């Protein structure tokens, strides 16, 4: 069945096009929006996709408007797809009561607990449904990579580690690497997944590195002046488990940088270059 797309916004950008669409999603049983940057020449040439997963309180627009990624993406021939971070107006009681739960806080998991399980299925949406929609409507190559920030950095690491070989590369800015052991993650996982902590480990990058026989290299960018560094993000835990198991990890600790999009904009070109090399097979 063909998925119908409603174009909400379109802008010419560095010779390409920045667009925003709405569609009906089977995964979340409701409407979803996504943004997509199409580089110049994509009309005639299939180009690889970089998925960008955003963080708490964000929509599909934050990265588009603040990261300044389009110039480099146009130069490299990278399509960038930015999904929203949760369903919107799903009618779940309490979904708009907190910034770290519900709207804008899907945590890229498939909820198993009522009433969230009917709509909050963001893992299925970003790994299965939306890629199918993108392939259906746009001129994309098979190669894809994934990145994200904060909650979205968590999502990017989890998607890559749970699907060996699916993504040519993965990177993350300020990711929540051990959500089963931080308050943001515990609150979200209890709500979406219930009290069985074994199910939580399926969405925890540190636990997935322990379980996983795949050797997906991880690239993590972290600001040392990040207000959430010690209580929520805990990159030292990912570093420790990767060292223990000899799992490839590049952890760049950046003095003076915080959790904001100023940090992302400062290093996004390096990450796009990194993904482009892997997507080309270099």
HEC string of 69-126 equals CHHHHHHHCCEEEEECCCCCCCCCCCCCCECCEECCECCCCECCCCCHHHCCEHHHHH
Q: Which residue in the list 35, 103, 150, 171 is annotated as catalytic?
A: 150
Task: Give the 3-state secondary structure of residue 54.
Answer: coil
Per-residue pLDDT at 89: 95
Task: Give the 3-state secondary structure of residue 227.
Answer: coil
Predicted confidence (pLDDT) at residue 83 exceeds the cutoff of 70 = yes
For 22-46, what is each residue's pLDDT tens digit?
999 999 999 999 999 999 999 999 9
Task: Give the 3-state secondary structure of residue 187.
Answer: helix
150 flagged as catalytic: yes
Percentage of the chain exceeding pLDDT 70: 99
Write down the H helix ranges in 164-247.
183-193, 197-200, 205-211, 235-245
Per-residue pLDDT at 1: 60
Predicted confidence (pLDDT) at residue 76 exceeds the cutoff of 60 = yes
Phi, psi of 227 (to 5 degrees): -65, -20
Q: What's the pLDDT band for 122 if we cut at 50, 70, 90? A: very high
Per-residue pLDDT at 281: 79
Q: Which residue in the list 259, 271, 275, 278 is annotated as catalytic?
A: 259
275 flagged as catalytic: no
25 flagged as catalytic: no
Burial status of residue 130 (CB atoms within 10 A of its CB: 0-12, 13-18, 19 or more):
buried
How far is it, in rounded angstroms, from Cα 153 to Cα 146? Answer: 9
Q: Which residue in the list 84, 110, 204, 226 is annotated as catalytic?
A: 226
Q: What's the pLDDT band for 282 if we cut at 50, 70, 90? A: low
For 95-105, what is each residue's pLDDT tens digit?
999 999 999 99
What the block records as the tokens of 109 is: 């998991």
Phi, psi of 8 (to 5 degrees): -100, -25
């Amino acid at each position: 069945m063909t998925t119908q797309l409603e174009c909400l916004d379109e802008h010419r950008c560095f010779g390409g096009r920045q667009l925003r669409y709405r569609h009906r999603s089977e995964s979340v049983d409701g409407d979803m929006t996504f943004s997509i940057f199409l580089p110049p020449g994509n009309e005639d040439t299939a180009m690889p996709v970089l998925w960008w997963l955003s963080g708490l309180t964000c929509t599909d627009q934050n990265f588009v408007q603040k990261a300044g990624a389009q110039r480099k993406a146009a130069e490299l021939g990278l399509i960038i797809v930015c999904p929203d971070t949760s369903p919107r107006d799903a009618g779940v009681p309490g979904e708009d009561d907190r910034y770290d739960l519900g709207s804008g806080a899907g945590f890229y998991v498939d909820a198993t607990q009522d009433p969230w399980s009917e709509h909050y299925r963001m893992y299925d949406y970003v790994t299965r449904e939306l890629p199918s929609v993108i392939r259906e409507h746009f001129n994309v190559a098979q190669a894809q990579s994934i990145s994200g920030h904060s909650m979205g950095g968590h999502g990017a690491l989890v998607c890559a580690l749970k699907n060996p070989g699916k993504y040519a590369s993965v990177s993350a800015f300020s990711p929540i690497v051990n959500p089963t052991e931080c308050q943001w993650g515990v609150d979200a996982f209890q709500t979406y997944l219930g009290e069985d902590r074994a199910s939580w480990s399926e969405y925890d990058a540190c636990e997935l590195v322990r379980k996983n026989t795949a050797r997906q290299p991880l690239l993590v960018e972290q600001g040392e002046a990040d207000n959430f560094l010690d209580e929520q993000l805990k990159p030292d835990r990912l570093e420790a488990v990767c060292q223990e198991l000899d799992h490839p990890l590049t952890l760049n600790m950046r003095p003076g940088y915080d959790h904001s999009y100023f940090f992302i904009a400062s290093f996004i070109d390096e990450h796009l270059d990194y993904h482009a090399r892997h997507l080309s097979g270099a």
